[in-house]
Structure 1
Amino acid sequence: MHTYNQFTINRKTPAFWRITFHNPPINLLDPDTIFELLTLMDQIETDPDLKVVVFDSADPEYFIAHYDMARAGEKQPTPKEIEFPAWIDFVSRLYRTSVITIAEIRGRARGVGSEFVLACDMRFASKEKAIFGQPEVGIGVVPGGGANEALARLVGRARALEIVLNADDFDAETAERYGWINRAVPDAELNVFVENFARRISSFDKLALHDAKKLLNRTGVPEAEEILESRTVFITGAMSANTQKKVSTAFARGLGKPGDFELHLGQHVGNLE
């Protein structure tokens, strides 16, 4: 049995798990998170009874805030040897696992947090409390973990350009209208809605679920090579003097810490000069 520091697995039934992310103080995703996610994928892919996983957060303000920039550049450990960079390996497997994956989103899902939920099969969000954003361009880089590829497929080219180039926050109702998420659900109803939905799916035949997902994936899910191209451009941008200056300014103003800067990140990245 694996032990996790940042995730809690609640096996509601043999066929349905809830996996809750908790990395205080603001649920930043870091190299330890990615290591645990890869380990979780090993469990998800090999469990013979599992049909549905719901991912949620223990922090109502942050689903996944974004990547922990204070740990950028650290060597990424992995549980086993893999072909692609660790994050790309994880999201590629998430897209293609036979298990149905659902994100139940309260709070902020920005940057890699948005890219995480985009790689889930379905996304249901709190109408009042969920916020989405791809702030990367605001600090001089591009999304490098799947957003370019997934958003263009989900919301169309023009709206994907709006989301990525504007680098601002989007509320759940707008995200629903654009197709970024499946539904914006009143916060008081979200847990019950997702719980009932997941339990219903988990009562169905596993092979039928697998076959349906595999066939629907033909309409287009990102290939690892596509995301790798975005990652390469992201790394190049991150090394530029302009980006380094903006990141330093962001840290000085509160990046990665509880407070107004993180709560209203979309607003603040527009004023980093």
Structure 2
Amino acid sequence: MSRGKPLHLHIVDGVATVVIDNPPVNLFDRLLYPAMMRVAEEVAADDDVRVVVLRSLNPDFFIAHFDVTLIQMLPTDAPRAEELNSFHAMCEAFRTMPKATIAVIEGRVGGGGSELALSCDMRFAALGQAVFNQPEVALGILPGGSGTVRLARLAGRSRALEAILGCDDIDAATAAEWGWVNRALPPDELWPFVDRLARRIASFPPHAVAAAKAAVLRAEKEVVADLLAEGDAFNATLGHPRTVAALAAFMDRGGQTPEGERRLGELAGELG
């Protein structure tokens, strides 16, 4: 069965809405990953776009995580990085482009999906529905797509380590309390709030929006150096026998299926 486009881009009144549509769980796979890289370049270069909003067509999943089968294919002897890998570069594009970037999270988000959302300027989640998880350590790796760098800055060291080492589900209310998201809103209020905010920002002088964002970003020190170190640490885990076994066990136990992903926190706890 052929699959359609994993992303749909709509631009209205300066707001680019990127709709993620990669069923069944919106994996960052061979379709979605390059498509997201392309759309990041496209909206960054479009002077008519002033705000970028990421949301999912599937209310149950924003982006589950990076495709584990692709992780299993990564080389285990990669040299020390001197420049950002393609995933880090994509996330940095959303963080640094001279326009506001917003992630709208209605359902589950984990791993690389969470890292993309963390790279956006703002995140808003559906109260009672959105669930966050960084499951990587349970799989023998670590959040290698900017998760260690972003969470430590946004949530603080202790909460970042609880999420990253615990590999458990974090509900939207807790995520908002921690700073993982800006706000957790009732589901029926989520999109109207974000839509109004995006249109409001898009109505302001774009040079002022870009200058203000750049000034705020200057307060974040050593981001690229920290991402490079994170990437090296991630690569160093890939060849460990327990990593190989945990990645295989994750797939065997239902990882990357809707049923398995809905119990991701529980599933992660079964891999030790």
Would the TM-score normalized by the shorter structure come out above 0.5?
A: yes
- Which segment is superposed worse, 191-200 or 35-44? 35-44
2 CA distance for matches of 1:221 and 1:53? 24
CA contact under 8 A between 2:72 and 2:244: conserved in structure 1? no
2 CA distance for matches of 1:187 and 1:158? 29
Q: TM-score, normalised by structure 1?
A: 0.91
Residue type of the alignment partner of 1:141: I
SS of the residue corresponding to residue 56 of structure 1 reads strand
Q: Which residue pairs with 1:58 in the alignment?
A: 57
Q: Which residue pairs with 1:80 in the alignment?
A: none
Q: Which residue pairs with 2:158 in the alignment?
A: 158
Residue type of the alignment partner of 1:48: D
Residues 122/58 of structure 1: CA separation in 2 closer, same or farther (3 Å cut)? same
Q: Which residue pairs with 1:240 in the alignment?
A: 240
CA RMSD across the alignment: 1.7
Residue type of the alignment partner of 1:65: A
Residue type of the alignment partner of 1:170: I
Q: TM-score, normalised by structure 2?
A: 0.92
CA contact under 8 A between 1:126 and 1:190: conserved in structure 2? yes
1 CA distance for matches of 2:67 and 2:104? 22
Q: Which residue pairs with 2:271 in the alignment?
A: 272
Deviation readout 1:46-80 (Å, 9 max, x if unpaired): 111211011000111110001111233558xxxxx
Give the drift of 1:34.
2.4
Q: Which residue pairs with 1:87 in the alignment?
A: 87
2 CA distance for matches of 1:131 and 1:175? 9
SS of the residue corresponding to residue 176 of structure 2 reads helix
Q: Which residue pairs with 1:70 in the alignment?
A: 69
CA contact under 8 A between 1:139 and 1:246: conserved in structure 2? yes
Residue type of the alignment partner of 2:28: L
Q: Which residue pairs with 1:190 in the alignment?
A: 190
Gaps of 5+ in 2: 75-82
Give the drift of 1:214.
0.4
Q: Which residue pairs with 1:9 in the alignment?
A: 9
Give the drift of 1:172.
0.3
Aligned-pair identity in percent equals 36
Count of residues paired in the alignment:
262
SS of the residue corresponding to residue 104 of structure 2 reads strand
* Runs of 4+ deviating beyond 3 Å: none
1 CA distance for matches of 2:179 and 2:71? 31
Gaps of 5+ in 1: 76-82
